[in-house]
Chains A and B, each alone.
Chain A
C-alpha cells in the first residue's frame, strides 16, 4: 500500500514538473520562430523569468524522491540511460546560463549565441523526456543485475521518436499559450496563431501516440484489467479538445489550464499503464524494477511521506502565490528593470 502511494506520488511529481517546466521548454523552443526583434525576444525570456528556476526544482525533487523511495529504480534507470541523461543535463545547464549571461554583455553576437543555447536548452530536454518516457513505457533492455544492454541509438526507435515529437509539440503548445498570456500586441497575436497552428499537429501526434502505444507497449493491459483508469486517456483527449475551444474564444489563460490538465493526464496515462513496474525490462519481465522489489524500507517511506505530505502543499502554496504576483503582461517598464533578463 505504502509503495503504491509512493508510485502515485512519483507520477504526480513528474506531472507537476512537466506542467511547470513544460511551458519554459515551449517558450525556448518557439523563441527563434515567434520573436521578430530584440524586445520580443526579451519578452519571451522574461515570460519565463521568475519561474523557470523554481520549476526546475520539481525535476530535482522528482529525481530525489525516486532516489529516496525507489533507490533501485533510480540506480538502474539513470545508469542505463547514461548518455541521454547527461545530454539532458548539459542542455539544462546551458539553458540556465543563457538566462543569466545573455544580457550581461552588450553585443548582438553574444546575445545570438545564448539565444541558440536557450533554444537547444529547451528543445533538447523536451525531446529527450519524450524519448526516454516512451522507451520506459516499452521497457528497456536491462538484465537481472541492472546492467543495460543497449545504446543511445536503440533509444531512438520509431516509438521513442514518436514520443519525442509528441512531447515537443505538447510543450510547444503550452509555451505558446504562456507567451500569449504574458505578452501584448503583435507578439500576443503571433503566439495565439502559433497555438492554433500547433494544436492540430499535437492532436495528430497524441492520437498516433495512443495508437502506437497499443502496438509497441503493454500499457493497455492495466486499462483492460481496470477500465475506470481509462478516464486518463479519455480526459486527456477531452482536455485537448477543450484547449482548442478556449483558443478559439481567445481565453488563453483557460486554454493554458486545459493544456496543463492534458499534460497531467498524459503523464498518468503512462505511469498507471506501467504500474507496478517503474522500469520494465524488455529482456524478461522478471528483471523489471517494480514497486515491490525496488522500494525503500517501510520506515523510510513513512518518514518521507510525512515530509512530503507537510511540505509539498506548502511549496505549492507559495509557488502559486508567486505565479499570482508575476502573471501580469510584460511591459516596456518590466524590460527596463535592471534585473530583467
Chain B
C-alpha cells in the first residue's frame, strides 16, 4: 500500500476509535447535569446517586476520548503535513480555538466535579458539571466547523500558494458545518439516551434498585424519543445541503448514475462501480429521490456519470454506510417511542427491557456509518473541490506509517477491549458498588 492509503487508514482508525468515546461524552454530560440539577433543587439523594453512578461510567469513557483526541490533532502534522501547510491558516485556527475555548473548560471543570463533591459549594459543583456539558458540546462545534470547512470550503482566498482566511464570519456561519453539527449533536445525545435506557432496562429486568433505575429510565425516555425524531428531521435537512453543495456525494449515497428529473428511489439497488451502474435495481418509486434531495419531486438530480471518473467518491462504501445509517435511523424513533410509551409500566413489558440493552451498540453503529458517509463521500477530495487527498500527505516513508498504523491498531484494540470490559463491569455493578 502507498503512503496515502496507509495514512488514510491510520486516520480512519484514529478518528473512528476516538468517536467511539466522544458521542457518549456529549450526551451523557447533559443527562448527568440534569440529574444533578434535580438533586440541587429537590435535595432528593437518589438523584445525587444517579449523577454519581452515571458519572462513573462517563469517566471511564471520557479518558479514552481525551487521549485519542490528542493523537488526532497531531496526525494532521505527522501524516498530512502538505494539507496542514496548505490550509493551516484556516483549519489550524479552528482547532486552536477549540482547545482554548472549550477543552480547557471541559477538563478543568471535570476535575472540579470529580474531586470537588466535598470541597466546593453545592452551587459551584453544579456549575462544574454544566460547564463540562457545555464545553464538550462546544468543543464538538469547533471540530465540526473545521470538518465542515473541509466539506464546503468558504471564506478563503488562494494566495501565497495556500488557502488564506478572507472572511472569518463566513467560516463560522458555514451552512454545511451547522447542518452537520446539529445532526451529529442530536445523534450523540440520542446515543447517550439509549445508553441510559439500555443499562436501566438491564437492571429493571433483574429488579435491582428499581426506584433508581425507573427514575433514570423515565428521565432518558422522553429525551431519547425527542432526539431520535430530531436526528431524523435534521438528517433530512442536512441531506438537502449535501445535495446542493456536494452533488457527487449525494449521487454516491444513492448509487444514482444517470442525471434525470423526477429521479426515482430504488428500494433495492446493488451498485456496480466498474460498469458505471447498478447490477440490480428494482422497486423504484418515481420522484422520491428528487423529493428527498430537493423537496421537489420533479427536481433534477445529477448522476455519477456526469462527474469525471477521478472526481467520484467510492460508491459502494458510501452507499452501504448511508443505508446502515438511514436504516437504523428509522428504527430509533420506534424503539425510543416504545420506551417512552411504556415508561410507567415497564415490568409488564419484559420484551422491551430485554431488547433495550441490545440496542446500546446500534446508535454507535449509525454514527460511525454517518461519519463514513461524510468522509468517504468527500473523496477524492480532502477539501471538497479544492485539494485532493493524494496531494495532502506528508513526505514520510510508507514504512513509518505502516509501523505506526500497526501500533495504533494494537494499542487501540487492547484499550478498547479493556474499556468496554470496565464499562460493562461497572454498569452491571449498579450504584451500590
Contacts and interface: CB of A to CB of B under 8 A. Distances in A.
B138 to A, nearest CB: 12
Given A54-B108, A82-B396, A146-B395, A339 B81 contact: no
Contact of B101 (A99, A147, A311, A337): A311
Given A83-B400, A92-B67, A101-B418, A54 B77 contact: no
Contacts of A56: 66, 70, 107
Interface stretch (B112-120, B243-251, B325-333): B112-120
Given A67-B77, A85-B74, A296-B92, 5 more contacts: A53-B110, A56-B70, A63-B73, A64-B100, A147-B395
A71, A72, A104, A307 — which one has the most chain B CB atoms within 10 A of its CB? Answer: A71
B60 A104 contact: yes
Interface stretch (A30-38, A187-195, A312-320): A312-320
Contacts of A104: 60, 422, 425-426
Contacts of B78: 78-79, 82, 85-86
B48 interface: no
Interface in B102-143: 103-105, 107-112, 114-120
Contacts of B92: 64, 67-69, 71, 74, 296
A201 interface: no
A244 B11 CA distance: 47
A60 B97 CA distance: 11
- Contact size class for A? 35 or more
Interface stretch (B82-90, B316-324, B343-351, B352-360): B82-90
A237 interface: no
Interface of B: 52, 56, 59-60, 63-64, 66-71, 73-74, 76-79, 81-82, 84-85, 87-93, 95-101, 103-105, 107-112, 114-120, 159-160, 162, 164-166, 168, 394-396, 400, 404, 407, 411, 415, 418, 422, 425-426
B119 A307 contact: no
Nearest to B98: A64
Contact of A339 (B87, B96, B104, B114): B114
A78 to B, nearest CB: 3
A104 B61 CA distance: 13
Interface stretch (A164-172, A202-210, A251-259, A297-305): A297-305
B85 A146 contact: yes
Interface in A226-273: none
A315 B104 contact: yes
Contacts of B407: 86, 90
Interface string A77-105: 11100110110011011001101110011
B101 to A, nearest CB: 6
B104 A64 contact: no
A322 B108 contact: yes
A60 B70 contact: yes
A145 interface: yes
Interface in A307-336: 307-308, 311-312, 315, 318-319, 322, 325-326
A76 B81 contact: yes
B143 to A, nearest CB: 11
A143 B160 CA distance: 20
A56 to B, nearest CB: 7
A15 B68 CA distance: 24
A51 B111 contact: yes
A60 B104 CA distance: 10
A65 to B, nearest CB: 5
Contacts of A39: none
Contacts of A63: 73-74, 77, 99
26 contacts: A51-B111, A53-B66, A57-B107, A61-B103, A64-B95, A69-B96, A71-B85, A74-B81, A75-B88, A77-B77, A85-B78, A86-B404, A90-B411, A93-B415, A96-B66, A104-B422, A146-B81, A148-B395, A297-B160, A297-B165, A300-B90, A307-B97, A307-B101, A315-B104, A326-B115, A338-B52
Contacts of B112: 50, 322, 325
A303 B77 contact: no
Interface string A95-125: 0110111001100000000000000000000
Contact of A326 (B56, B100, B119): B119
B81 A68 contact: no
A49 interface: yes
Given A50-B115, A78-B77, A300-B164, A67 B415 contact: no
A57 B99 contact: yes
Contacts of A79: 77-79, 81, 394-396
Contact of B422 (A74, A101, A299): A101
Contacts of A90: 407, 411
A156 interface: no
Given A78-B74, A86-B404, A61 B104 contact: yes
B175 to A, nearest CB: 21
B115 A339 contact: yes
Contacts of B166: 299
A198 interface: no
A12 interface: no
B111 A100 contact: no
B415 to A, nearest CB: 6
Given A50-B114, A303-B168, A326-B119, A315 B100 contact: yes
B104 A68 contact: no
A59 interface: yes
Contacts of B69: 60
A61 B110 contact: no
Interface string A15-58: 00000000000000000000000000000000001110110110
A61 B100 CA distance: 6
